[in-house]
Amino acid sequence: MDQTAVTYREITPGARVAPPGAWVDVAPYAIPQTANPHFIANGVCVLLDDSQIDLCGEDRAWFYRRADMVTANAGAERAAQFSVSFDPRFERVDVHSIAVIRAGQRVEHSATAFYEVLRRERNMERLLFDGRLTIHVTLPDVRVGDVVETSYTLFGMRKSLSGRHSAFVPFEWGVGIVETRLRQRTPTHRTIAERTYGDVPQPTQAEADGVIDRRWRTFERPGIRFEALAPPWIFQGAMIQFSEWRSWAEAAATFTPLYEDSGPLAEEVEAEIARIAAAEPTPSGRATAILRFVQGNVRYLAIAMGEGGYTPRPLADICATRYGDCKDKSKLYVAMARKLGLDACPALVATRDGPALDQWLPTGQAFDHCIVRVRIDGRSHWLDPTQEAQVSPLGQLAECRYGWALPLAPGVEALEHMGEEPYIHSLEASEQVVLGKSPDAPVKYEWRVTMRGWRAEQMRARVGREGEVGLFKLYTEDIQRSFPTATPTQQLVVKDDHAFNELTTLEQFEIANAWIPRGAVFVFNTLDLFMRSMLVRLDAGERKLPVDLGHVGKMTRRVEIEMAVPMRVTPWRRAVAGSNISFEAELHVLSRKKYELTQTLDIRAWTLPASEAQVYREIVAELEKSDIELVRGVKGGKFVRNGQGGGAFGVWDAIRWLLIAALIGYWLWRYFGPGL
């Protein structure tokens, strides 16, 4: 089956086996006798990663070649799989080579391989269909020591991009690659801007016959350690950005016409517009009424096939089907808003990279979501019609905060900052624990939780999906993981205040056998359902990048413990503080039988400087010991008075000894006189 020449063969419409274009440079690479041990991962050593981009033809052509040396059986299983995906509506693919090189002999499989054509729809569970096809081949007889070399070229791009080239190409990964090559061919009349991030190698350049040929190469560059919890908008490895877009204004001017639609709206939509006009006299009231209508009456479904990934459907289709993706729902919102006299337009955002967009070269391919900007009284409001129904008024509902956005309106010249996330008291948890006189007495445990802002909206969405019964059933299962005998006595949403975007839940449980024997004593632990999970652990070691803290806001927890038998408790207070985050915990003695734990986690910005990583670790350590452990002795089946818990000497001990000392002093003074 030895083959060196590649013949033409159709795989499926839009995909074929064919030789590479004449412009491709299939330069040789080194194949060592044994793999460099510093570049082995998962049973494979990647010898070559080669990307070549050609902008001189009618369609953009992107050639890719990879060579893997198999070093273990696990690597053979992976290297034997070849896949390439494409969208047949605007892309086509040529497979050039699927070869196994063994002991210097090359066996070419591309012409005779069995190609499976799959439509995988990786985001189907998110109701997003892109129609991409995957060509897949499983190679026979791949062994340790073999080199598997594959190559293909992908042609085309969406018409809505007007042929403008834009791409990010990395030079570093978590695993080292022996040799990385990047090449870009550009006709002299086209201007492609470049911006580098990290340690990108210096390019070489040649120019001939009206073509600029730029090349980058790295050799034996080791893999990098990606820092956990780094902000997702920060590039951790070396990266180069190419862009043919001259400005953000050009991007706005390109996409704005795609959202303009003067077609008629459905009768029921026009009726809703009339109802809102009569019921809501203020711009803010109208803005939120439209939002609730689109969120609640147009279900989410994304058909992102071909141009559907960038272009919304006609208003008539959106109204007729009552479904749509973010582009469709934003387009309908804007159409309704303008009929009601509101200054509204679609806005493109990047849900992951948004805070860094102002540092990028302008590009129309930076965005992955569409929302709405509404201007009221000189202020921009950023609303997402794809969210589940937001019932609160403007100013209280949670608006989108993704860093930078690109409004799609005539005359837009630049990105617009979406403002900082408002600082709110987003979670307030209150627990009451009532303990009996013996370890056999059931413990009564109550959780009362108030959520505000985005947390309240998330809870409403969960209640809407699961129903109160279903949701509290899930919560019960969660509590029973710690207290298997816990029985709910009351579970309900006690308050849902739309005006202030605040929701409170109440859960009351009776827990039998909550005290666990440990030798001669019994132990009970409170159960933190909220604070502990706010932050996750951060690995030890040097930190170079900021720590991603998530949402801004304050979270508090209060635990009141009431005992039937007095217990000695020592009050304490612990606090850890950084520039943008702080945590405080304090144990109070309220009476001989009542104690209170208070905790406050305060996050004032999205990130924490790398220099304060240890502060973050210390706060996580505090959260991981956020529960109180009570330890009590038992005699005759009852708890012993003054059994220890949380400390050996408490405030009542101090008062008792002060009284004793005062009494002794009094009698000494009485019998011996002031001259003692």
Burial class (CB in 10 A: 0-12, 13-18, 19+), 104: exposed
pLDDT tens profile 410-454: 999 999 999 999 999 999 999 999 999 999 999 999 999 999 999
Q: Are residues 343 and 442 in the same domain?
A: no
User: Looking at the domain assignment, is residue 640 inside a domain?
Assistant: no
Say what the pLDDT of residue 472 is. 93
Q: Which of 195, 217, 244 is the last residue of a domain?
A: 244
608 and 549 Cβ atoms separated by less than 8 Å: yes
Residue 4 lies in a domain: no
Q: Is residue 347 in a domain?
A: yes
Question: In angstroms, rounded to a whole number, what is the distance separating the alpha carbons of residues 329 and 299?
Answer: 9
626 and 503 part of one domain: yes
575 domain residue, yes or no: yes
Containing structural domain, residue 621: 425-635
Closest by Cα among 271, 180, 269, 261 to 217: 180
381 and 455 fall within a common domain: no
Tell me if 607 sits within 8 A of 231, measured CB to CB.
Answer: yes
Indicate whether 672 pLDDT > 90.
no
Is residue 297 in some structural domain? yes
Q: What is the pLDDT of residue 582?
A: 98
Task: Give CA–CA dist 260/345, Å, rounded.
Answer: 10
Cα separation, 374 vs 396, in Å, equals: 15
Total domains in the chain come to 3
Q: Which of 221, 244, 267 is the last residue of a domain?
A: 244
- Please state, rounded to an integer, the average pLDDT across all residues of the chain: 91
- 432 and 383 in a common domain: no
| Residue 440 shares a structural domain with residue 588 | yes
Whether 302 is in a domain gets the answer yes
CB 384 within 8 A of CB 292: no
Torsion of CA 25, 26, 28, 29, to 10 degrees: 90
Q: Does 136 lie in the same domain as 277?
A: no
- 339 and 365 in a common domain: yes
Q: What is the pLDDT of residue 643?
A: 45
pLDDT tens, 473-502? 999 999 999 999 999 999 999 999 999 999
Q: Are 586 and 609 part of one and the same domain?
A: yes
- CATH number of the structural domain spanning residue 324: 3.10.620.30
Residue ending a domain, among 218, 244, 270, is: 244
Same domain, 272 and 406: yes
pLDDT score of 622 more than 80: yes
Q: Are residues 344 and 455 in the same domain?
A: no
Of the chain, the percentage scoring pLDDT greater than 70 comes to 91
Instruction: Write down the pLDDT at residue 162.
Output: 85
Are 234 and 258 part of one and the same domain? no
- Two tokens at 245? 């877009």
Q: Is residue 496 part of a domain?
A: yes
- Helix (H), strand (E) at residue 125: none
155 and 123 co-located in one domain: yes
Per-residue model confidence as pLDDT tens digits over 13-53: 999 999 999 999 999 999 999 999 999 999 999 999 999 99
CATH code of the domain containing 486: 2.60.120.1130
The answer to the question of residue 641 being in a domain is no
Burial bucket for residue 540 (CB in 10 Å: 0-12, 13-18, 19+): exposed
